Chain A
């Protein structure tokens, strides 16, 4: 009988580079619902990994486990060489500042302006910065997402795409080494989706970040992925390069690319 690891449809072996995120045998249940049943994955430095899967397969839960928002039932998660399960809040926070997380909705603080949203995070982690330096950094990061005009707007005045860009700017302001994107293009029109996908690519090139991108948007996956993983029934069903999985012999895998 084949093990789960052997059952994975592999189309290519990842290049041998230094791993930044390593997940081993990750399990998570909610009541009787076993969502993750032994996820194993490695993300190497500078790599953009796209995770695909049907809704409810546990893609978002996986990345929430990486930042400690969800505590797994079993398994190991190593981020930047540090085992994160079992860490206390202050130890975990030291790793969290190196990880950016873009939420599906943007999750902007809606009682604050765009400027305050960005300053709120920065001021708490860079207490030595002057008001002038904070302002410069805020404007720089807004420039990088193409929204410097929106600095004094409230989140309620922004469109869906703008909210995601500001969410991304808020993530970037701490200069993270890793960025986790939770469905960055969901709910956006085709043009805005493409702009967000290009922004993700641009961030990777300029800032040399490592990313995990959860998406249902195949054009986003095609544009951003160095490697693709597909979740099915709580385990990784297939992994490889986008073009290779597109031609996979596995019908279920191919169904994502139609």
Chain B
């Protein structure tokens, strides 16, 4: 029924808002779970490097190979390094990397916290007078907020390397010249808004994963639902945020 659907949607929005409010309240109150935060940074950042590296390389390579014939038609092959760098840094690397993180990290958080909820591990922390929200949620959201931008910068670099490999397949281009052309085509205005939006991507990837997992209902089925729902919601949120970021960037820069 549409009424029920809208009621549930608004209830969800209200719950997410309260969850976010709780995060901002808990994040500033000691004790700080720094050890768990660094552990999560390691798990989310370092452990995602191979996946992001492979994806970033393929993004750069494929983008170069696909674009080259069109540019060659207009005799504009020399624009290729700049175009690849701009496309990667402004749009492709942030969005694709964030989507990969939504699939790997957000679903992982959803499943992990959902499973902890179902097996009463979160309750066990609560009764042991340990704040599970601070230990599990705050650390994970902070880690994704910090790690996703770093992974995006890494994907940018690997993507540009992939672009160079793509170019050398068809022509003999000096690496120094390629890098020079890449940096000549870039401005701070290309990098800064693109980097700022990745912090939001990271925040929402962590927040959605934590919200879905932390609020999983009892039962093993809910663990799968939490993981699945975390990926879908986080991916959709990334596209919406990207659209807003592009509009805002367009407005001010």
B116 CB contacts on chain A under 8 angstroms: 109-110
B169 CB contacts on chain A under 8 angstroms: none
Cβ-neighbour of B127 out of A67, A89, A104, A120 (below 8 A) = A67
**B123 in the interface, Cβ–Cβ < 8 Å?**
yes
Check if B123 sits within 8 Å of A121, measured CB to CB: no
Given known contacts A109-B121, A110-B119, A121 and B127 CB-to-CB distance under 8 angstroms: no
A67 CB contacts on chain B under 8 angstroms: 126-127
Q: How far is the CB of A169 from chain B (nearest CB, A)?
A: 13
B126 CB contacts on chain A under 8 angstroms: 67-69, 96
Q: Give the size category of A's interface with B.
A: 20 to 34
B112 CB contacts on chain A under 8 angstroms: 111
Check if B121 sits within 8 Å of A93, measured CB to CB: no
Check if B129 sits within 8 Å of A107, measured CB to CB: no
Q: How far is the CB of A81 from chain B (nearest CB, A)?
A: 18
Taken residue by residue from 120 to 146, chain A's Cβ proximity to chain B (1 for < 8 Å, 0 otherwise) reads as 110011000000000000000000000
Check if A101 sits within 8 Å of B127, measured CB to CB: yes
- The docked-state distance in angstroms from the alpha carbon of A120 to that of B129 is 11
A127: nearest residue on chain B (CB-CB)?
B31
A219 CB contacts on chain B under 8 angstroms: none
**A113 in the interface, Cβ–Cβ < 8 Å?**
no
A122: nearest residue on chain B (CB-CB)?
B128
A150 CB contacts on chain B under 8 angstroms: none
Check if A110 sits within 8 Å of B121, measured CB to CB: yes
Q: How far is the CB of B25 from chain A (nearest CB, A)?
A: 11
Check if B128 sits within 8 Å of A121, measured CB to CB: yes
B120: nearest residue on chain A (CB-CB)?
A107
Given known contacts A107-B119, A110-B119, A101 and B129 CB-to-CB distance under 8 angstroms: no
Taken residue by residue from 101 to 132, chain B's Cβ proximity to chain A (1 for < 8 Å, 0 otherwise) reads as 00000000000100110011101111111110
Check if A107 sits within 8 Å of B130, measured CB to CB: no
B119 CB contacts on chain A under 8 angstroms: 105, 107, 110
A109 CB contacts on chain B under 8 angstroms: 116, 121, 124-125
B125: nearest residue on chain A (CB-CB)?
A109
A89 CB contacts on chain B under 8 angstroms: 131
Check if B121 sits within 8 Å of A96, measured CB to CB: no
Check if B123 sits within 8 Å of A103, measured CB to CB: yes
- The docked-state distance in angstroms from the alpha carbon of A92 to that of B123 is 14
B31 CB contacts on chain A under 8 angstroms: 124
Check if A121 sits within 8 Å of B130, measured CB to CB: yes
**A201 in the interface, Cβ–Cβ < 8 Å?**
no
Given known contacts A107-B119, A110-B119, A101 and B131 CB-to-CB distance under 8 angstroms: no
A99 CB contacts on chain B under 8 angstroms: 127
A101 CB contacts on chain B under 8 angstroms: 124, 127
- The docked-state distance in angstroms from the alpha carbon of A69 to that of B227 is 25
- The docked-state distance in angstroms from the alpha carbon of A44 to that of B146 is 52
- The docked-state distance in angstroms from the alpha carbon of A108 to that of B126 is 13
A93: nearest residue on chain B (CB-CB)?
B129
Cβ-neighbour of A97 out of B123, B124, B125, B129 (below 8 A) = B129
B127 CB contacts on chain A under 8 angstroms: 67, 69, 96, 99, 101
Q: How far is the CB of B120 from chain A (nearest CB, A)?
A: 4
**A154 in the interface, Cβ–Cβ < 8 Å?**
no
Taken residue by residue from 1 to 35, chain B's Cβ proximity to chain A (1 for < 8 Å, 0 otherwise) reads as 00000000000000000000000000000010000
B130 CB contacts on chain A under 8 angstroms: 120-121, 124
A64 CB contacts on chain B under 8 angstroms: 123
Q: How far is the CB of A106 from chain B (nearest CB, A)?
A: 9
A103 CB contacts on chain B under 8 angstroms: 120, 123-124
B121 CB contacts on chain A under 8 angstroms: 107-110
- The docked-state distance in angstroms from the alpha carbon of A200 to that of B129 is 23
A108: nearest residue on chain B (CB-CB)?
B121
Q: Which of B125, B126, B127 has the most CB of A within 10 A?
A: B127
A120 CB contacts on chain B under 8 angstroms: 130
Interface residues of B (CB under 8 A from A): 31, 112, 115-116, 119-121, 123-131
Which 4 pairs show the lowest CB-CB distances between chains A and B? A93-B129, A107-B124, A107-B120, A96-B129
11 other A-B residue contacts (CB within 8 Å) besides A99-B127, A110-B116, A125-B129: A68-B126, A93-B129, A101-B124, A103-B120, A107-B120, A107-B121, A108-B124, A110-B115, A110-B119, A120-B130, A124-B31
